[in-house]
Amino acid sequence: MSGATGKLCPVKGCTAHAKPNQLMCWPHWRRVPKPLNRAVFDTYADARGRELGGEARIDAIRRYREARDAAIAAVEAKEAEERECPSSPDGKHQIDTSMESGPHHCFHCEANMRPDARVRG
Ligand SMILES: [Zn+2]
Ligand SMILES: [Zn+2]
């Protein structure tokens, strides 16, 4: 339950750590739409609530998981929309001059990033 660094952020491709008691890293958490953000808080409180027992507790945990998954999916959808490179972990093309395919190609997807790619010769 406790740990100085927390667990890995569950958003796909994110290598940041979530703080203890946080669902995801702070930059990603901030991107969760308000209603989903609130749903996670509310259901989390219920799921952790010691006054709930048996079926009610199981139901609360299920609702928390749904809210959590929806929040993660919402952030991942936003990231996917903004992503320019399909293979890069941070969503951005990364030009690597040591690439075999050429000095202007993306390290991750090998797209040609040369500004004058259309002009040859
Ligand atoms: Zn993250
Ligand atoms: Zn790329």
Q: For 32-54, give the secondary structure using H, E and C.
A: CCHHHHHHHHHHHHHHHCCCCCH
Ligand nearest to the CA of 87: 2
More confidently predicted of 17 and 114: 17
Distances (CA, A) of 116 to 77, 104, 121: 32, 10, 11
pLDDT in tens, 27-84: 999 999 999 999 999 999 999 887 788 899 999 999 999 999 999 999 999 988 888 8
Measured in Å, residue 23 CA sits from the centre of ligand 1 at 9
Mean per-residue pLDDT for 10-36? 93
Ligand nearest to the CA of 94: 2
Residue 41 has what pLDDT? 92
Residue 3 has what pLDDT? 44
Measured in Å, residue 58 CA sits from the centre of ligand 2 at 43
Q: Are 55 and 45 in contact (CB under 8 A)?
A: no
Measured in Å, residue 103 CA sits from the centre of ligand 2 at 13
pLDDT at 101 over 90: no
* Chain centroid to CA 110: 24
Distances (CA, A) of 104 to 12, 120, 121: 27, 14, 15
Residue 4 has what pLDDT? 54
- How is residue 52 written in tokens? 């709930």
Residue 6 has what pLDDT? 76
Measured in Å, residue 12 CA sits from the centre of ligand 2 at 17
In the three-class reduction of DSSP (H, G, I as helix; E, B as strand; rest coil), residue 79 is classed as helix
Give the predicted TM-score (pTM) of the model.
0.68
